């Protein structure tokens, strides 16, 4: 029963305009900072954190959506359920040597014998 009530409150708060609520934030912060042992003070604290909770929820939601919608090579937006086109990547010792040379490293002689089956 209490969970149903909390869910109802959450739905009602989420239906409110975030910008309007954010404009009210300084007022409730001021009331919260001016402690008085009253019900009004307690309500101000709860309202302040409800508004901030909604702001955090929206921020995290937007971040997750941004992460969800990655950009593919051709600039198209793609969700994680869509896979980008696969492209062939050189495998084996030749590719490792090329990478090592690019970064000024060397491939040890033992690598040739270990990776003979990986060469193109």
Residue for token pair 């709860």:
46
CA 116, CA 107: separation in Å to the nearest integer?
13
Per-residue pLDDT band at 117 (split at 50, 70, 90): very low
For 87, counting Cβ atoms within 10 Å of its Cβ (0-12 exposed, 13-18 middle, 19+ buried), the class is: exposed
Q: Judge whether residue 66 has pLDDT over 60.
A: yes
The pTM of this model reads 0.53
Least confident of 85-89, 91-95, 101-105, 114-118: 114-118
Domain residue spans of the chain? 2-78, 88-120
Alpha helices in the chain (DSSP H): 2-14, 18-33, 39-68, 93-102, 110-114
Query: Which of 73 and 67 is assigned the larger pLDDT?
Result: 67
Q: Is the Cβ–Cβ distance between 40 and 31 less than 8 Å?
A: yes
CA 84, CA 72: separation in Å to the nearest integer?
6
Residues 59-80, mean pLDDT to the nearest whole number: 70
């Amino acid at each position: 029963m209490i969970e149903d009530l909390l869910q109802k409150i959450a739905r009602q708060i989420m239906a409110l305009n975030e910008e309007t609520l954010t404009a009210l934030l300084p007022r409730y912060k001021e009331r919260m900072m001016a402690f008085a042992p009253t019900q009004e003070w307690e309500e101000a604290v709860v309202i302040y954190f409800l508004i901030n909770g909604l702001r955090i929820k929206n921020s995290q939601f937007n971040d997750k959506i941004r992460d969800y919608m990655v950009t593919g090579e051709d600039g198209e937006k793609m969700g994680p359920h869509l896979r980008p086109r696969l492209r062939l990547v050189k495998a084996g010792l030749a590719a490792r040597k090329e990478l090592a040379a690019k970064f000024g490293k060397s491939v040890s002689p033992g690598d040739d014998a270990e990776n003979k089956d990986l060469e193109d």
